[in-house]
Chains A and B, each alone.
Chain A
Amino acid sequence: MDLLIAIFQGIIIASTPLVLAAVGELVVEKSGVLNLGVEGMMIVGAVTSFIITYETGSHFLGLTAAIISAGLVASLFGLLTQYLLSNQVATGLALTLFGLGLASLIGQTYSGISLDTFPILDVYLLTEIPIIGSLLFNFDYLVYLSIIIVVSVYYFLNKTKFGLVLTAIGDNHDSAHSLGYSVKMVRLFAIIFGGSCAGLGGAYLSLVQTPMWVENMTAGRGWIALAIVVFSVWRPLWVLVGAYVFGGITIIQLHVQAFGVNIGAQYMSMMPYLVTIVVLVFISMNKNRLAVNAPNCLNRLFTSDL
């Protein structure tokens, strides 16, 4: 039983950065922009939050730093793609390469230092309930925050006028423009929001999951977050499902290794990446569902002169 609870907790902790990064990217893609720089924004968030937390001793300031710094690099992507009309795929890649380099550079002297563990949100009495307490009320507040963000994004996209405008811009930016909506501004906001979420996801890695700074510690999670957005077919609540499935594979794979199954560690570590490919293929096999839900203008150039 204890092992199962440990596995469950492990899955939630492994999944939370994916939830955060993917839900941010979902909003960006809903507005019609493909930002492939999630990996870069995550690592920037990871390194800045680590440094600020280490220097100030405040987790809160560290998280704030992650949100701001990742939001800033995202806005660089936003300015280039929205106002200088650069290619989104290439700019996203540039953001990833730049973010990885920048993070290694500024994190160099912090390599290998570890931080205090992130506190668990102690809910009076609830945490004490046997099993359920450990399953539901034994996490840091970021886990709950990530779920709140997902639900809020769901509410925002489906129930508010501004969310409707954002969806409409992703569906047909020319029509939105002719109705007087500011396509570029809305997209810029979405991009910065997506960056901040990715930054928060990165911070979760370096503050909670493994409270230390390691170069390239995102290890492809930004790319998996992009895959989760496709998996969710652009529906926010499905991001949770997708992220927990991927987190689950990572954790179970580790436990299988620990049980001493006689397969090389390298082959077991391939699991999350292989599963991502399989899932992507399965999702793309259903063309109609994708056609209905995918934002029509995803990765299309918008020039304001009609």
Chain B
Amino acid sequence: MQNILEIDGISKSFSDIQANNDISLYLRQGQIHALLGENGAGKSTLVKIIYGIVKPDHGTMTLNGKPYDPDTPEVARNEGIGMVFQHFSLFESLSVLDNIILGQKENLKKDKILERLDYLQNEYDLFIDINKIVATLSAGEKQKVEIIRCMLQDPKIMILDEPTSVLNPSEVEKLFSFLRKLSDQGMAVLYISHKLHEIKELCDTSTILRGGKVVKSCDTASITIEDLAQLMVGKAIDNKVKLSEPKQARVLDIKNISYTNPDIYGVSLKGIKFSVNFGEIFGIAGISGNGQTELMKILSGEVGTSDGNQILYHDEDISNLGINERRKREIVFVPEDRLGHSAVGGLSLSENLLLTNLWDLKFFSKGVIDSNYVNEKTVEVIKKFNVQCNDAASLASSLSGGNLQKFVVGREIIKMPKLVVCEQPTWGVDVGSASLIHNFLIEISNTGSAILIISQDLDELRSICHRIAIISNGVLSKPYDANRITPQDIALEMAK
């Protein structure tokens, strides 16, 4: 088979970060090629270069033997490159059909498009009701719309960016058989992921990126998952603090959380029940958009709920208390979004420290902020949690994701809380910081704190939790022992 796309010595830097450093890669007809790496390894920059969104600083690309240097995504599409983004580029309030029409380059007649659509749906098993409004579709269906839109342009190369992060296991199976069929028909697929099992199962060839450089390109069959992991992460980081056994006494006992979402497209929660014990780390797994955000906001008190909900904390019903009343009871919260939710980019670190301490009279005298005390505490967090920054006056937006997350988690943990509720505590954080954050959480649980982690990252949950439950479409499963939960259990619960 011949090379369809050749990437030769591509480099790209953004201000002080070298995102891509001399990257070369060859994509052959009929090949499913994995592009593999941690967050921040440079995968998405490379893809954006191929798709004409970002211009490289150095290097050349060759498509079908001809020089290829796209100025816009449109050029890339015309040259036969199709892209399925991780964050969909769909129009939520329009119908599936309108979305498909908008994705076509020429003014095709509607019946012409319908005809092609019909063919695609039959050939590739991509059935979907074209009159539905996109906002009402599940994440898996939305991805189908993206794929259809892409396929209608007869691409020669299809790029998929973390396509399975929004899919449940049975949808993943369907996607894989679809991609295999494409490859059998001679299409080249560039598959971006950090999930090693998938890559091992699906891809012929793997290119592994780390720190913006290619560390290895090889046949996937010739390499073990352990070796892939090693190459992706660099040196193995496994100095994890050991989990100790929790006591059989409940800190948080949720008798019932039900919530009707006022947003008609949002997820409603149905009869959620679970409990977290002293010294226990309890994980809630699930694909995003199944009610996690809603659950988090109800647990924190940011969203009020209707009657009938019962959240017992040390036998007190806190379901009607506001977030600061809950904080007074030594509960802390770390929501998913760093910038704009748990921290404010345009304010300094010390001002951000105050964000979750407004209830604490130690920081004020008659409503006036005691800036010395705030500063002192901020410096303490920065030192203790190894936050890399200039000083307490640095703007939160000037910190890297990992450092800001360490600050946000540290700000809460330093209070030695009795209950920690966090959502995606290591989302988009580098490996080193993630492992530090995990250690903080384990350490504090060993002193008796109860910890609730809501995360999409199953590997994360399995490595630090005692028990795991799965949330799917607003319903929470029974808890499983983290050591005994099997992929089959998870698949079954997610499909419910």
Contact = CB atoms under 8 A, between A and B. Distances in A.
Given A180-B73, A291-B264, A164 B102 contact: yes
Given A165-B102, A180-B74, A287 B53 contact: no
Contact of A168 (B74, B77, B102): B102
Nearest to B110: A161
Contact of B73 (A167, A178, A292): A178
Interface in B417-475: none
A296 interface: yes
Describe B's contact surface by its main secondary structure: loop
A161 B94 contact: no
B72 interface: yes
B89 A288 contact: no
A257 interface: no
B143 to A, nearest CB: 14
A171 B105 CA distance: 19
Given A164-B101, A168-B98, A178-B73, A291 B92 contact: no
B131 to A, nearest CB: 15
A161 B103 contact: no
A39 interface: no
Contacts of B94: 164, 167-168, 171
Interface in B18-63: 48, 53
A303 interface: no
A235 to B, nearest CB: 13
A39 B476 CA distance: 53
Given A172-B91, A172-B92, A287-B262, A180 B72 contact: yes
Interface string B77-121: 100000001001111111000100111010100000000000000
Interface in A149-177: 161, 164-165, 167-168, 171-172, 174-176
A61 to B, nearest CB: 37
A305 to B, nearest CB: 9
Most buried by B among A168, A174, A176, A288: A168
Interface string A266-306: 00000000000000000000011001110010000000001
Given A161-B101, A180-B74, A292 B93 contact: yes
A125 interface: no
Contact of A171 (B72, B73, B91, B263): B91
Interface string B342-364: 00000000000000000000000
Contacts of B133: 292
A152 B106 CA distance: 24
Nearest to A180: B74
Contacts of B92: 171-172, 296
A174 B89 contact: yes
Nearest to A289: B264
Most buried by A among B53, B89, B92, B133: B89
Describe A's contact surface by its main secondary structure: helix
Given A168-B91, A291-B263, A296-B93, A179 B101 contact: no
Interface residues of A, number: 21
Contacts of A164: 94, 98, 101-102
Interface string B123-153: 0000000000100000000000000000000
Given A164-B98, A287-B262, A291-B263, A179 B90 contact: no
B196 to A, nearest CB: 29
Given A164-B98, A168-B98, A174-B89, A288 B264 contact: yes
Contacts of B98: 164, 168
A171 B93 CA distance: 7
Contacts of B263: 291
Given A164-B98, A291-B263, A306-B53, A179 B73 contact: yes
A113 to B, nearest CB: 49
Contacts of B89: 172, 174-175, 178-179
Contacts of A306: 48, 53
Interface in B203-252: none
A295 to B, nearest CB: 8
A109 to B, nearest CB: 50
Nearest to A164: B98
Contacts of A167: 91, 94
Contacts of B262: 287
Contacts of B102: 164-165, 168, 176, 179, 181
Nearest to B90: A175
Contact of B91 (A175, A287, A291): A175
A99 to B, nearest CB: 32
A161 B105 CA distance: 12
Contacts of A168: 91, 94, 98, 102
Contacts of B74: 180
Nearest to B52: A180
A165 B90 CA distance: 12
20 contacts: A164-B94, A164-B101, A165-B102, A168-B94, A168-B98, A171-B91, A172-B90, A172-B91, A174-B89, A176-B102, A178-B85, A178-B89, A179-B102, A179-B103, A180-B72, A180-B73, A180-B74, A287-B262, A288-B264, A291-B264
Given A168-B98, A175-B90, A180-B72, 18 more contacts: A161-B107, A164-B94, A164-B98, A164-B101, A167-B94, A168-B102, A171-B93, A171-B94, A172-B89, A172-B90, A172-B91, A172-B92, A175-B88, A178-B89, A179-B102, A180-B105, A291-B263, A292-B264
* Closest 6 pairs between A and B when the two form their complex, measured CB to CB: A175-B89, A180-B74, A171-B91, A178-B89, A168-B91, A171-B93
Interface of B: 48, 53, 72-74, 77, 85, 88-94, 98, 101-103, 105, 107, 133, 262-264
